[in-house]
Structure 1
Amino acid sequence: MEAFFTSTVVVALAEIGDKTMLLAMLLAARFRQPVPIAFGILFATLANHFLAALVGAQAAAWFDSEIFRYLVAAGFVAMGLWTLIPDKFEEDDQPASRGGAFLTTLIAFFLVEIGDKTQIATIALGARYGDALLVTAGTTIGMMLANAPVLWLGDKLADRLPLGKIRLAAAILFVVLGLWLAAETAGLFG
């Protein structure tokens, strides 16, 4: 359950203010259909994050060594530092709306998530816990916890959330996970 819980919290915090959250706000404003947009986010995240968690879990199985665990720990610390940099949604990142709310969201979220902080975090979590299913379930719940409210309350939430403080909390969590894994690998807890 640690893999599920940690994955949920890490992605929920990291997602707040992220490019995909801004995309959710844009899609909600454009389509005004929160249910199909939510399902598009759900299915895109399940597909994207399962592949990412699987890559992480397989890499951990193939390269199971102290060096690899230190690299994963360093990856968490790097993710923490990266989280401190706010995302911007560029005008040319706007999805075309030819396929309706669900299809547009599904495709846009899957593509925008490629190489995004939360996808890379999912790879690291998959490597850390070696359980693609629990990590995918956790990161998907985290993604939905962060994005679903903006579909119904977008404008109201955007003005009230302390994005800087939330980003800092996510960064601290990533760094703590990285330091914890490094200390665990060094045998400081055993």
Structure 2
Amino acid sequence: MAFAGLVGVSAGAVLVAEMGDKTQLVAMSLASRYRVRTVLLGSALATVVIHGISVLLAEVLGLALPADWLSLGAGLAFLGFGAWTLRGDELTEADEERAATRRAGSALLTVATIFFLAELGDKTMFTTIAVGADHAGTPLSWLAVWIGSTLGMVAADALGIALGMLLGKKLPEKAIRIGAAVVFFLAGLAMTWQGLSALLF
């Protein structure tokens, strides 16, 4: 398959896999708390890394990461994110002044970390591995799959961000915070259960 065709196949596969997925819901939640540019850039950075790992696994190892341990660890982290979101963050005037120069960087790191954890062991990660493994050995197939899967993922998250912005303008801050916490708790419980059941049964 031609390079451009493989980019398109990879982008389409990941875009479809991501529709209604937890990472897209996370994008909606984060868009109501952070700047759109920060959420989109954080999503893109996390996606480049996680899909790079997926392509490496497909091309070199041909094996998936141990999804049970990844799901368990990411699930526990998401439960922590849920509690943090529910508690909320309050800054004093002094804190606001000190954080003004650091806020963009720390918010970007937070968003990128959340997206990275959401994608570990997720179906879009395995979709990327499957597409990459199917075309392994073709010259530059790894690069085409990496580019395509990243584009597909960022496009899906952009839709989630747009919806989050739309809803964020119509909902009070407390409702947004509770809604975001519920998303994190549900994703965390599902991922923790998936990891535990794979390890125990």
TM-score range, shorter chain: 0.5 to 0.7
Q: Would the alpha carbon gap of residues 26 and 91 (structure 1) be closer, same or farther in structure 2, given more than 3 Å must change?
A: farther
Q: Is 1:11 aligned to 2:14, yes or no?
A: yes
Deviation of 1:93 (Å): 5.0
Cα 1:39/1:155, change in 2 over 3 Å: closer
Q: Is the 2:31–2:165 contact (alpha carbons within 8 Å) kept by the matching residues of 1?
A: no
* Correspondent of 1:152 among 162, 167, 181: 162
Contact 1:8 1:139 in 2 (8 A): yes
User: Within 5 Å, which residues of 2 pair with 1:1-190?
Assistant: 1-31=4-34, 33-60=35-62, 92-94=80-82, 100-130=106-136, 131-154=141-164, 156=166
Q: 1:186 — aligned with what?
A: none
Runs of 4+ displaced beyond 4 Å: 90-93, 95-99
The count of corresponding residues between Structure 1 and Structure 2 is 129
Superimposed CA distance per residue, residues 25-63 of structure 1 (whole angstroms, 9 cap, x where no aligned partner)? 1111122x0001100000100011011111011235xx9
The gaps in structure 1 that reach 5 residues or longer are 64-89, 158-190
Task: Give, in angstroms, the shift of residue 129 of structure 1.
Answer: 1.5
Give the 3 Å change call, closer, same or farther, for CA 36–143 of structure 1 in structure 2.
Answer: same
Q: Percent identity?
A: 38
With over 3 angstroms needed to count, the CA separation of the structure-2 counterparts of 1:120 and 1:40, relative to structure 1, is same
Considering only aligned residues, what root-mean-square deviation do their CA atoms show, in Å?
2.6
Alpha-carbon separation, structure 1, partners of 2:165 and 2:111 = 19
**In structure 2, C-alpha distance between the alignment counterparts of 1:132 and 1:102, rounded to whole Å:** 27
Q: CA deviation at 1:92?
A: 4.7
* Letter of the structure 2 residue corresponding to residue 114 of structure 1: L
* TM-score when normalising by structure 1: 0.60
TM-score, normalised relative to structure 2: 0.57
Secondary structure in 1 aligned to 2:32? helix
Work out whether residues 28 and 162 of structure 2, in 8 Å CA contact, stay in contact via their aligned partners in 1: no
Distance verdict in 2 for CA 1:128–1:154, change over 3 Å: same
- Separation in 2, partners of 1:147, 1:19: 10
How far off its partner does 1:126 sit?
A: 1.3
Question: How far apart are the structure 1 equivalents of 2:158 and 2:17?
Answer: 15
Larger Rg: 2
